[in-house]
Amino acid sequence: MDAEQLRDLALSSSQLLHTEIGGPSVKPYQPTNIWQAVAMPQSNTKTYKPDSGNKLYRRSLYTFWKRTAMHPTMEILNAPNREESCVQRELTNTPLQAFVIMNDPQFVEASRQLAASALQNASSTEERINFIALTLLSREMEADEIDNIKTYLSKMEQKFKATQASAGKLISVGETKAPEELDPRDLASWTVIANQILNMDETLNK
């Protein structure tokens, strides 16, 4: 899928996507100081200040574009810049793209919200895995896939049980708040699982 579709998929699957149509451009999460490096001193876009609230979760169509410093996530996911016309986008599958989906606040936050929905709407491990799979893949996982996910889930549960601070740090990414009724260690473990399924080739290639 194209860059905008990948981001919108994550937001939609996590129920974060704000579906309002029309209006001005918005500024989602972006690393600091990117605009300062290329802006003229008198530029009115020298400083990037992310929006808040629903503006963070609008469709990627509405993301503000600076011609000389495009949104880095969109660029890494092969969105073209606006300095020249583009007849057809490049289609690549790189480790850096996987790194973005695993670490960009927008994708981490979306993964956490999807994980929270799985914990709230399903009781068993298999049901939770399939809740996430059905949301992202429109299919349930095969038995061997479930076994692999269970193995990795167990590792994550052990990790976050031993280092509770890291669990709290993971589930605090993004402006939305994690549901207080959920155990932070469980939510962190399932956030990693949701993010991994989101990062599967089958999810990203439609």
Q: Tens digit of pLDDT for each residue in 120-171? A: 999 999 999 999 999 999 999 999 999 999 999 999 999 999 999 999 999 9
- Domain borders along the chain are 98-204
CB atoms within 10 A of CB 149: 20
User: How many angstroms separate the CA atoms of 76 and 195, rounded?
Assistant: 18
Position 36 scores a pLDDT of: 85
Best CA proximity match to 48, nearest among 59, 24, 64: 64
Q: Are 128 and 119 in contact (CB under 8 A)?
A: yes
Which pair of structure tokens corresponds to residue 164? Answer: 């509770």
**CA gap 109, 174 in Å, rounded:** 5
Closest CA to 149 of 199, 112, 113: 199
Dig out the tokens for 175 from the structure: 């402006």
The pLDDT mean for the chain works out to: 94
**CA–CA–CA angle 144, 204, 130 (5° rounding):** 40
* Percent helix, strand and coil across the chain, each to the nearest 5: 55, 0, 45
Listed in sequence order, the residues at least 6 apart from 160 whose beta carbon sits closer than 8 Å to its beta carbon are 166, 167, 184, 185, 188, 189
pLDDT at position 154 is 98
pLDDT digit string, tens, across residues 65-74:
888 888 999 9
- Read off the pLDDT of residues 79-134 as tens digits, 9 standing for 90 and up: 988 778 888 888 888 999 999 999 999 999 999 999 999 999 999 999 999 999 99
Residues 6+ apart with CB under 8 A from 140: 130, 133, 134
How far apart (Å, rounded) are the C-alpha atoms in residues 206 and 194? 18
For the chain, first and last CA: distance in Å? 6
